[in-house]
Amino acid sequence: MSLPTLPNTPLPSAPNSPIKMSSPNDVSTGASSSTAFETKSKPLSFAEEIGFDVVHITVGSTVKKTFVVYKAPLCHKVAYFDHMFNGNWREAQSQTANLPEDVCEAFALFVIWVIKDKIELPVNSETDSSIPTLIHLFAFAEKYNITTLADQTLERLSTLMLESDCLPIPSDIELAYDITHENSKLRSFMLKLFVYITFHSDESEDVYGWSKATMQPLMQSCTDLCTDFFATIFGQGAQEKKDPRGELGCDLHQHREDEDCPYKQLASPTHVKPMLRKGSTSKKSGSPLKKRKR
């Protein structure tokens, strides 16, 4: 998925170059460098940390929603929006933008992440709706090159599946492949899950929403998944047959190789109770997926 381009017609009244920010605190307070240095030792208030300036971003095409977002932390965390709202562009003068290709539910999670630096799903949200939303959020992070958000989203997706002991259904994997590029970490994660499902399901029964009848159409419609699947099977074999939930490994992260991994606190997937996704049926004993007790 290509990164959206900003308008190429500058406004004469706009600045000649993007405004460089040392931190959102400097933007929010408008303080000089000496004042900023003097206040480093004391805690900043919420208003001082995020500022008072906001931007209005309309998301979606058919179903649209306008979000009011604090400008300072948004521009501090995402270079694309920094150039958009502080550069020599029409959006910088109006402090408004349109993102017709993005999804409202995923953008809502992004707005919370901008302020809290963590992904908070709505209270009492169901797994069936949360998984597609997190898939869209990862694609959003990938699209705008927000690597920290991408890593956190993948971890949250893995944790959600682990805690509820559910697996993606065919439409989840198809969606993930449809809205990401060929080297996407989300594709790698979904591929690991698909391999695990393939080797731990009974083709005579619909398990976790999966059966031979659902696998074949997916492989036919999603040719990249089919190619990746056979390349993995013939290349690595049994190494990819274990449950990948909760054990992502740094090969699915985007932090620097010399940086300590911040995601090493997930529990073992053997300590959770099973929960079926919608469309699944009762389970019999036979494979590791089916031996878990309710």
> pLDDT tens string for the chain (294 positions)?
556 555 554 443 344 334 333 333 443 344 434 443 343 446 667 777 788 999 999 999 999 999 999 999 999 999 999 999 999 999 999 999 999 999 999 999 999 999 999 999 988 788 888 999 999 999 999 999 999 999 999 999 999 998 888 889 999 999 999 999 999 999 999 999 999 888 876 654 565 678 878 888 999 999 999 999 988 888 665 455 666 666 666 666 666 666 666 666 544 443 333 344 444 433 333 344 433 233
For the chain, the C-alpha Rg in angstroms (whole number) is 22
User: Left, alpha or beta for 286 (phi > 0: left; psi -120 to 50: alpha)?
Assistant: left
| pLDDT tens digits along 20-53 | 333 334 433 444 344 433 434 466 677 777 889 9
| pLDDT tens digits along 250-265 | 666 666 666 666 666 5
Residue ranges covered by each domain of the chain: 44-101, 123-294
Residue type at 234? Answer: F
Q: How far apart are CA 175 and CA 171, in angstroms?
A: 6
Grouping H, G, I as helix, E, B as strand and the rest as coil, residue 141 is: helix
Q: Determine what percent of the chain falls in helix, strand and coil, rounding each to the nearest 5.
A: 50, 5, 45
- Residues forming beta bridges with residue 54, ordered by sequence position: 70
Three state DSSP letters for 113-171: HHHHCCCCCCCCCCHHHHHHHHHHHHHHHHHCCCHHHHHHHHHHHHHHHHHHCCCCCHH
10 Å CB burial of residue 74 (0-12, 13-18, 19+) is: buried
- Residues forming beta bridges with residue 57, ordered by sequence position: 67, 97
Q: How far apart are CA 144 and CA 44, in angstroms?
A: 29
Cα torsion through 197, 138, 228, 168, rounded to 10: 20
Provide the pLDDT for residue 4: 58
